[in-house]
Amino acid sequence: MKTKFKYLSLFSLLVVLSFGIGAVSSANYDIDDTTYSNDFDNNGDILSNSSINNGDTLNIGNLTNKNMNINKSLNIVGLSDSTVNNGTIIISANNSTIINLTIINYAQDSIRVYGASYIDIINNSIQIEGVADPNDPYSTVTGIYLEGNTDYVNIINNNININGSDAYSYGISNNIWIYSYVDPNNEFNIDHTLTNFNISDNTININTTGVYAGGIYSSTISNYIIADNDVFISSNQFMYGIVVNDESTLTSSDLDAVTNVSIVNNNVTGIGKNDGTMVYLIELFLLGNTLISGNNLNGTGNGVYGVAVAGADNVNITDNNLAINASGNLDSIGSNADWIPSGIAGVILYQGIQDDSTNVRIADNNFFIDNYSWEMGINDTGYTGVPSDDFVDNNLNGLPVEDGIF
């Protein structure tokens, strides 16, 4: 652990210094409650007469009830012992960095990225108290939110804590749609399959009384690494630890299929708060060339899936520990809009409305399943391969099992 922090500190320094290479005139600005109005208006936009330029660094002190809309390539660096209270940092410029901020928010997102690439979000502390809107059944709060054409993103070593009662709470999320819940004709918001994301070494804790808690939710990203994250999720109905899906086929746009996704060495825990809860610890939809390995997955609810897969090709699920504590009574969960309906399994390969999964290997995993019954280990209703060839060398409750479904 000590080595990791040394590495990240050096990496952060290199990122900051790199903006100064070839940019002799780059400057530093101290931004706090007393100096904020020198460079930002009341809406958080950079003033037209501000001298802040691309490549400059903003040293963030204490800010209260102030947003920042960053439309220039800047380094946003939190000063020691300073806090952004009730403020959202919004990035819309390429080559931007957010490092070492402490953000404490009430009923609002903390960091948002709109259509910008080459973004580093490193070593930030985010705390949000979400508050449900009684007039909005989809009220949502997110720690780090990305929308639109956003490529080459590093989200590393952040600490995200979300509590409260918002209907939907996300730790890290990217969205390829411009959603309007009053208008079902949602607008597609990217013109290419996103690429080159690294979400690693983050700690995400979401503990809400809302309907939905999502740790890491990702849509339509290739060349994607999700590694060494600690994710805890708890809500009143649905919980998702890590979700990666490909929605390129759901539009008329000519996008490449998602490929090359690695979900490795993560710790994911989902615990339902009451009766009527469904937990998806890892979920994949329509992916190609995906590795799920070395993860520790632990779920408690009426229904639990360790790894849920639909319509994927070339997937390796290996060397994971999957602990499933499901009480049953799936009817109590109620309506479930997920592509993969409520159920219980260490791994489920589900067919549904999409094609079967192909070329899936499930090997060398340790399944721990309370009240085990047939197909709670591996359920292959949506698989075209040969289970006895592809589902091998797994253990159930500490003992080897026959190859194939169990």
pLDDT tens for each residue of 131-163: 999 999 999 999 999 999 999 999 999 999 999
pLDDT at residue 290 is higher than 60: yes
pLDDT in tens, 206-230: 999 999 999 999 999 999 999 999 9
pLDDT at residue 312 is higher than 90: yes
Residue 49, sorted as left (phi over 0), alpha (psi -120 to 50) or beta, turns out to be alpha
pLDDT at residue 239 is higher than 60: yes
pLDDT at 184: 58
Burial 185-206 (b: 16+ CB within 10 A, else e): eeeeebeebbbbbbbbbbbbbb
72-400 is a CATH 2.160.20 domain: yes
- Taking the domains of the chain in order of start, what are their residue ranges? 72-400
30 confidence band (pLDDT: 50, 70, 90): very high
**Closest by alpha carbon to 349, among 386, 312, 319?**
312
